[in-house]
Structure 1
Amino acid sequence: MKADMGRRYRAYPTGDQDEVLTGWGHTARALWNVALEQRVYLWEQRRYSLRAIEQSRHLTSARHELDWIGQLPAQAGQQILRSLDRAYDNFWNPGHAAGFPTRKKRGHRLSIPFPGQAVEVRKLNRKWAEVRLPKLGWLRFRLSRAIGGTIRNATVSRDGNGWHISFGAHTGRKPDAPNGKPACGVDFGVAASVFVSTETAPRLMPPTLTTNERKRLKALEQRKSRQITYAKKHQGGKYSRRLRTTITQIAKITTRRANRRQDFTHKLTTDLAKNHGLIGIEDLRVKNMTKSAKGTTESPGKNVRAKAGLNRSILDNTPGERRRQLEYKTRMHGSALVVVPPFHTSQTCGNPACGKVDPESRKGCGRLFACVHCGHEDDADHNASVEIEARARRTGGSDINSTRSTTTVRVPATGRRRTREAPKPAHAS
């Protein structure tokens, strides 16, 4: 019985609990790093693959010999080793995009995992509840929504806003039957955050920071840079209390920005999944799209700062997170997600009677698409969303990932033909 739904709540530990959880978080991070180094060493020296079952025996011995590991609950340590197993499995899985497991730095978000059997939840009233954690006692959290299932795992974490408790719950919910609602194509962009083919105006993500918050963040970043320079010059690199306070203030603002971005993303994907029966999106390669233009010393890049700003804008719209959310929300609400090849969606005419591909129809990065063959005019992003919908309808929900590396520009269509216009032959002299 695996967890099929996640729940996250704001936790409010006491002063003593906050101190204990902070220590556990750093211990969990160190334990991950030590376990990873042990696996890497054994593989490099002996070509031996170490797994969590065998490392758990080493962990039992270390708990008796090292007090700082013994203070961490045994269930949490075992969960960390199981998580490392999953990280390796994802790395070895050719169908998974995960890279090799990496070390966790000190600035990494503190996180302490627990199995579901080690925790107990009791409801205090309509708005508050408590969870009992091993060696910590009862931890209060805000019951913003019902858990709605059997708890399979729990994770206590801390970000810039404070502590949170997350539960992985098994609800037993079955995928909904097809809802029979109309199809749509969705184009994710930068100038227009989202353009849906069935709508006449784009959906714009509100600014994630106000003007004063942006000024405040810039000032804090500058202060942090000065304080780090001073620490390296006069304190041997040791962070002062003021520097740590500055880092905490920056974390609060950046967490607030991330929460606002996540709120828009959840509302968007839920609305799309509920109100459409078929959703087509592009198979974007965000990692390739946001590569740095810095280049090398021998061959430096051009327009590096402009490309860095574009990369930030792309990542701020989180196309990968939107796709991840649509993948599970469409199953919940009886719709289907179809991922189509992204080539030439912005250069293909959305007029069904034309459908020709020509880069001259979309010059530069303007907002207007004007077909040079039939005269069809439309907003460039809306025109792309119409083409995405057409490709999704033709695909019919089948797997098209095998076409991601196809370089041909010929796109099959029903009742019409879409192909790049062949270059006109040069006149013989």
Structure 2
Amino acid sequence: MDDQAHAARTMWNCLHDWWTMLPKQKRSLAAADAAIRQARKEIDWLGVLPAQAAQAVLKTYFQAWKNCWDHHADAPNFKARLHTVMSVDIPQGRDLNITRVHRRWGMANIPKIGRIRFRWTKDLPVGRHADTDNRITGARLVKDALGWHIAFRVQTLEPKPEPHPGPEVGIDVGVTVPLALSDENHQDHGRPARTRDGTADRDKWLNADEKAKLLRLQQRAAHRKSFGRPGQKTSNRLRATYDQIASLRARAKRRATDWQHRTTTQLARTCGVIVVEQLDITNMTKSARGTVQEPGTRVAQKSGLNRSISQEAWARTITMLTYKTARQGGTLHKVPAPGTSQRCSACGATTPGNRESQAVFVCKNEDCGWPGNADHNAGRNILHLYRMGHTLIPAAGSAVVRRPRGVKPATER
């Protein structure tokens, strides 16, 4: 599997060089297909990649260019060995020949590898449960720090869901309270955002024993790295230590993703309309270091806040809510973010100093003086903006008008 993954990555890089060096009038799928076939014949270690997987690399690369031309993504680039996820695509589902051994395990055929066993975690349309509307169309092998995983592509026919009769709720994402709801049913994962000394807890998804093990591994890695020389190849012992550190990080990420899936599924099943903020996370997590001429202030504190924001993975949570609410018949809307944390949800006044701290909100208006939780207040303001009609984008599942291919967007001079 490792050989096939490296061959697929190299195939992408060779295809990228071949594509960018050719004149535009000579670029075509037929010419790229012929080049791939020739490369697999002339280079032995590229031949370990099955022909179908090589064709999948070509289709993925061409789709990446189409996404770039349609202004949906950046242009494809070179895939580095140490910064690329190892993966192999199996585009044809009939080659898998999946069988279920018992409740927890299944077997599948992998081209040029053979019969493998995998953990059966979800129901798959195999055997008498498979038909033209519900079937497996392919799979993808992906490797991370915990080993190799297989993800199946399933084509299924699902009925259009009925409109969800659930209530409307506004959600404010945060660091202290991950998901603060306007109805006060806040969702907390029980992991402290900061340690006892006030710094950001980078490893909050690990228990005490795992944190101690991680610290020992980091100290061991630093000790072994001190014996290396500039330009010298990393030793096998240091690489093994790095792998152990990566496995702990991957375990923490898996726990965080599991909590997000469970929480978003519960919200999608309960609520009919979910309203969130339109956040520019890239600007929120910019460094405060500044320049040499104008150095920034409170750089360490801002760095800890950026790390905490990145750990919560707000964008991934909103993505999960988007497609899960659509499956349940609900809708997700986004509203402008400015002012939601400073406006009083009781009287509607925005007075400087309303938010006394990260968790405490006290209205400074003399006629109001409403006290409450700052995150709960922001959630109520988000829901109020939706009810007043201040939505930014169409609801999930609605039609989006796209610019036709070949038509340049209008620009103001």
Change (3 A) 1:258 1:190: same
TM-score where L is the length of structure 2:
0.84
Change (3 A) 1:175 1:247: farther
Is 1:370 paired with 2:362?
A: yes
Whole-Å separation in 2 of the counterparts to 1:380 and 1:275? 24
Whole-Å separation in 1 of the counterparts to 2:292 and 2:216? 31
Whole-Å separation in 2 of the counterparts to 1:320 and 1:182? 23
Whole-Å separation in 1 of the counterparts to 2:122 and 2:9? 30
1:162 maps to what in 2? 147
Whole-Å separation in 2 of the counterparts to 1:325 and 1:282? 15
Is 1:113 paired with 2:99?
A: no
Whole-Å separation in 1 of the counterparts to 2:279 and 2:190? 19
Cα RMSD (Å) of the superposition?
2.2
Whole-Å separation in 1 of the counterparts to 2:232 and 2:30? 39
From 320, 323, 328, the equivalent of 1:325 is: 320
Please give the residue correspondences for 1:188-207 in structure 2 after superposition, counting only pairs within 5 Å. Answer: 188-199=173-184, 201=186, 203-206=188-191, 207=204
Change (3 A) 1:172 1:204: same
Whole-Å separation in 2 of the counterparts to 1:377 and 1:192? 18
Q: Secondary structure at the match of 1:213?
A: helix
Please give the residue correspondences for 1:249-398 in structure 2 after superposition, counting only pairs within 5 Å. Answer: 249-351=244-346, 354-363=347-356, 365-373=357-365, 374-395=368-389
Question: Which amino acid in structure 2 is aligned with residue 319 of structure 1?
Answer: W
Q: Secondary structure at the match of 2:229?
A: helix
Change (3 A) 1:80 1:272: same
Deviations 1:326-349 (A, max 9, x none): 111011111110111111100111
Is 1:102 paired with 2:77?
A: yes
Whole-Å separation in 2 of the counterparts to 1:57 and 1:47? 17
Say which is worse superposed, 194-203 or 240-249, in terms of deviation: 194-203
Q: Secondary structure at the match of 2:353?
A: helix
Give the number of equivalent residue pairs: 371
Q: Secondary structure at the match of 1:232?
A: coil
From 5, 8, 13, the equivalent of 1:33 is: 13
From 63, 67, 87, the equivalent of 2:44 is: 67
8 Å contact from structure 1 (residues 130, 140) kept in 2: yes
1:202 CA drift (Å): 5.0
2:130 maps to what in 1? none
Gaps of 5+ in 2: 126-133, 192-203, 396-413
Deviations 1:139-192 (A, max 9, x none): 111112212432222111111111110011111113411121111011100111
* Runs of 4 or more above 6 Å deviation: none
Question: Which amino acid in structure 2 is aligned with residue 105 of structure 1?
Answer: A
Whole-Å separation in 2 of the counterparts to 1:343 and 1:51? 47
2:215 maps to what in 1? 218
8 Å contact from structure 1 (residues 187, 381) kept in 2: yes
Deviations 1:219-238 (A, max 9, x none): 323433443453334xx421
8 Å contact from structure 1 (residues 337, 397) kept in 2: no
Whole-Å separation in 2 of the counterparts to 1:397 and 1:146? 38
TM-score where L is the length of structure 1:
0.81
Whole-Å separation in 2 of the counterparts to 1:278 and 1:49? 51
Deviations 1:20-43 (A, max 9, x none): x1111111122222222333333x
